[in-house]
Structure 1
Amino acid sequence: MVNDLLLRAARGEPVERLPVWIMRQAGRYLPEYHKLRAESTFFQMCQCPETASELTMQPVDRFAGLLDAAIIFSDILVIPQALGMHVEMLEGKGPHFPTPLNTPDDLKTLQKNPNISSILGYVMDAISLARTRLENRVPLLGFSGAPWTLMAYMIEGGGSKSFAKAKTWLFRYQEASHELLKLLTKTISVYLVEQVKAGAQMLQIFDSWAGELSPRDFFEFAYPYLVEICNTVKKSLRECRIEPVPMIVYAKGAWYALDKLCDSGYDVVGLDWLQDPAEAVRIRGNRRVTFQGNLDPSILYGSHETIEQRVKEMIEAFGKKDYIINLGHGITPAVKVEDVRFFLEQCHKYGRN
């Protein structure tokens, strides 16, 4: 690798500068993204390896020398699609499932043993193509949604303020809920292993709706499955004689679970902006875990003076060891490209050791 800062930081090795990348860095804030989006639907872009790899490269090329990673352009909802569900991405509204899961009987409609390498082969092809295009400039990340987050979408039929339908399942159909979570865990694990075989050099699990669960429910319906994915992926890679890649767990809103997440087996724990950096460092203690995050994405709407000050404060609080700079959630569409560039420049300025 020409630039392996991210991989070294994830493994807890010394770095001359803290690495930085941005969740959703290949996306709607870029004009070059919209040029391709005008020609295709969202999932058509995901399913075309040439387009997906081009979208993966767009931020790396635009911010040449400022981003320390690429992340494959895809979506967490390809897993429900692989299980046989129809998913649409509605402009201005987000994901929509025309036929969500309504009762436990609907689990019968799901594919129990989908051929991931075939059904989602386009993702693996995009990863391989992106690795070729990157020419080892920076590492390439693969990713997946977490079981609870995917379950919530599959039952709710899209995003929600209350997740009443998904929580009805948790509290009324506990056996069926665990059945679905186990199916998702198995499918996600296979999917992540296939991504590494295709060339992904690091993996992130997005539990975007973790904060919708109470601590008691997170530790029953989310945390055990996150741990199982990590253990299964690393074990499967070793059985294939492939060195396990670093893995990131990002459980948005689950600030109460940080102590347990530091013991989950993941190399990196991603933090949202609700977590105080200094308190996170205190909770971690001497455990060999790297933190990632956690600037509020909305700060990029602020003045350059504000962006610089917040970046400086964040780095000082996390420290310059075992840390990856990122936002606390995905970058939002209305952020200006020049402000993203300024943010990255400040990360380089203050992240040097």
Structure 2
Amino acid sequence: MHAPLKNDRFLRALRREPVDTTPIWVMRQAGRYLPEYRATRERAGSFMGLAQNPEFACEVTLQPLQRFDLDAAILFSDILTIPDAMGLGLSFAQGEGPQFAHPVRTAADIARLAVPDMDGELRYVTDAVRLIRRELDGRVPLIGFAGSPWTLACYMVEGHGSRDFALLKALSWNDPALAHRLLDVLARSVASYLAAQAEAGAQALMVFDTWGGMLGPKAFREFSLRYMQQVVAALQADAHARKLPVILFSKGAGQHLAEMADSGCAALGVDWTINLADARRAVAGKVALQGNLDPTVLRASPDVIRREARAVLDSYGNHPGHVFNLGHGITPEVDPEHMKVLVNEVHAYGRTLREH
């Protein structure tokens, strides 16, 4: 049995119910901008040593909650756990980002892929979810997450990070049927992975489509949105996941919000390149919105941070269904005191909005 939830602002906002103030959490809130995170990673020996140890993952998940009055915790993990569990040999080179020893390039490579065993190769993730949920003791909800099928495929085919992921784009143009086979096994894997997190105790689920926005409109629908819809449909059919809100975040895809709102998700993440008032009109009340402060604002002065936070809140207005977040992840150079300014301002000004 889990402890009763003491702060349900985040979940209420995702359901577009009234809240006393706007809830806030930020992407990568457990990360390198916190000295305590860097100390824990040093003890773990490597990023993967951190992510694959449930005790360490729990420790860093909780660290930002000990500093800031956040309204949700997010599992500390990485979006590339699924391809790693598929045997692609994930590693993180210092200063170079993720690398795969065995990229997926051919039909034979793709044919060898299978949905990973959630109680085998990925058990460390669900163990971390169980431990974090227990240690939270009902303080705030816990978010589980995965990368989108398209985003996972980008890294798996390229073998590492890239500006344009041209190899996967070329595959989708030259052999769309093969690209669809890859994306289908990834969609089934993502759905199974998120369902396992739901069973372990996650209270909301998020899909990070980091690279969907680099696709043209037709390709976005065919290769990114289609497979996020497949994931959402599978979660709605799962006994553990069907009651949990799903957030889709596709960076750079503001033009597709109306279509994404029809996916069955509860909320859409929005980056800073679109005004929230425009985003709210685009989704026509079908879903909640999460976002969308430019992360670099946190490098500015406290007065600027307060001003820009208020501007985001004003752009959404006094309407239900807003979760404040950055338009992408917090960067390592941010002063933690600036994060505290942001969290406090969102809560204070969010209350002011509701008084009018």
Secondary structure, counterpart of 1:351 in structure 2: helix
Of 11, 14, 17, which aligns to 2:18? 14
Which residue of structure 1 lines up, in the alignment, with residue 291 of structure 2? 293
Deviation at 1:162, TM superposition (A): 1.9
Contact persistence 2:205–2:246 (CA under 8 A): yes
Residues matched between the structures, number: 346
TM-superposed CA distance for 1:323, in Å, is 0.4
Task: Give the secondary-structure state (helix, strand or coil) at the position aligned to 1:223.
Answer: helix
Kept in 2, the 8 Å contact 1:84–1:109? The answer is no
- Tell me whether 1:255 sits opposite 2:259 in the alignment: no
1:215-251 deviations in whole A, cap 9, x for unaligned? 11000001111111111112112xx5x6511110000
Among 23, 43, 52, the alignment partner of 1:47 is 52
Maintained 8 Å contact 1:104/1:173? no
CA distance in 1, matches of 2:170, 2:283: 34
TM-score (norm 1): 0.96
Q: How does 1:101-112 map to 2 (within 5 A)?
A: 101-110=104-113, 112=114
Q: Does 1:60 align with 2:65?
A: yes
8 Å Cα contact 2:254/2:279 also seen in 1: no
1:272 aligned residue: 271
Consecutive unaligned residues in structure 1, runs of 5 or more: none
Give me the whole-angstrom Cα distance separating, in 2, the residues matched to 1:93 and 1:274. 27
The correspondence for 1:159, drawn from 138, 158, 161, is 161
Q: What is the root-mean-square deviation in Å for CA atoms of aligned residues?
A: 1.1
Aligned-residue identity in percent: 42
TM-score, length-scaled by structure 2: 0.95
**Distance (whole Å) between structure 2 residues aligned to residue 145 and residue 225 of structure 1:** 11
Name the residue aligned to 2:97: 94
* Aligned-partner Cα distance in 2 for 1:93–1:100: 16
Aligned partner (choices 65, 68, 77) of residue 74 of structure 1: 77
Q: Distance in 1 between matches of 2:276 and 2:116?
A: 41
For residue 85 of structure 1, what is the amino acid of its counterpart?
Answer: L
Report deviation, 1:198: 0.3
Contact 1:69/1:140 (CA < 8 Å) preserved in 2? yes
CA deviation string 1:296-344 (max 9, x = no partner): 0001001112111111111011123210000000000100111111111
CA distance in 2, matches of 1:246, 1:200: 10
1:149 alignment partner AA? T
Q: Which amino acid counterpart does residue 18 of structure 1 have in structure 2?
A: T
SS at match of 1:118: coil
Counterparts of residues 329-340 of structure 1 (less than 5 Å): 329-340=328-339
In the aligned structure 2, how far is the partner of 1:271 from the partner of 1:70?
19
Q: Secondary structure, in 3 states, of the residue corresponding to 2:143? A: strand
Partner of 1:140: 142
Contact kept in structure 2, 1:117 and 1:191, CA below 8 Å: no
In structure 2, what is the equivalent of residue 305 of structure 1?
Answer: 303
SS across alignment from 2:49: helix
Cα distance in 1, alignment partners of residues 221 and 338 from structure 2: 38
In 1, the alpha carbon distance for the partners of 2:286 and 2:180 equals 31
Answering whether residue 120 of structure 2 is matched by residue 115 of structure 1, we say no
Equivalent position to 1:4, from 8, 11, 18: 8
Between the aligned partners of 2:115 and 2:275, the Cα distance in structure 1 is: 41
Question: Does structure 1 conserve the Cα–Cα contact (< 8 Å) formed by 2:103 and 2:157?
Answer: yes
Please point out which of 2, 20, 27 is paired with 1:23.
27
1:98 Cα deviation from its structure 2 partner = 2.3
CA shift, 1:108, in A, is 3.3
Which 4+ stretches in 1 moved above 6 angstroms? Answer: none
- 2:324 is equivalent to residue 325 of structure 1: yes
CA distance, structure 1, for counterparts of residue 212 and residue 317 of structure 2: 26
CA shift for structure 1 position 99:
2.3
Alpha-carbon distance in 2 for matches of 1:113, 1:121: 14
Q: Which residue of the partner structure matches residue 127 of structure 1?
A: 129
